[in-house]
Amino acid sequence: MTEAHLDEVVRIEALSFYEPWSHACVQSSLNKDGCFVALDSAGAVVGYVIFSYIFDEGELLRIAVHPLHKRKGIASLLIRQILNIAKARKIKHWFLEVRASNSPAIRLYEKFGFTVMGRRKSYYKGPHGKEDAITMHLNGN
Ligand code: COA
């Protein structure tokens, strides 16, 4: 991901999340976290992933695919990419949080071997009030 992709990423954020990250928030991640985009053949952003890492721990902070491009394996491609980087950087543990109702994302993570670690009560705001977060872990090596 580069500065040139930010507007498109923020547009996909707005289409994908109840509490989307602002332009400033994605930009700040670009300066300090790992950020990758998936591009179509015309160079348009169709998906992205944002993760942070410190020592041997990584956290998947954000992943989204444009609604018109879902179920084409794009998120899987992005996750494979960060897991490859993880091996090179010797990241041993991956963590993430996901809304308890987000079964597409939970299935995606399970497909890559993430397992449920715990639950944070009423962690997210949602259209129907508060919602729990599921925390997940993957042993990266
Ligand atoms: N229902 C059930 N399982 C689903 C699913 C759905 N709607 N979408 C993805 N999956 C699971 C399946 O196991 C799928 O494998 P399969 O196609 O072989 O069955 C696997 O995830 C991989 O799918 P893929 O095509 O790589 O995912 P995607 O590119 O469609 O992206 C999300 C998946 C979750 C990133 C996408 O739906 C999205 O952007 N959602 C909104 C943002 C979000 O919720 N992000 C995650 C929380 S941070």
118 pLDDT above the threshold of 90:
yes
Say what the pTM is.
0.96
- Does residue 141 register a pLDDT over 80? no
Strands (E), the chain: 34-39, 45-54, 57-65, 93-99, 115-126, 129-139
- Say how many Å lie between the CA of residue 30 and the centre of ligand 1: 23
Kindly report the protein residue whose alpha carbon is nearest to atom 38 of ligand 1.
64
* Distance from the alpha carbon of residue 90 to the mean position of ligand 1, in angstroms: 26
Task: Answer whether residue 87 shows pLDDT above 90.
Answer: no
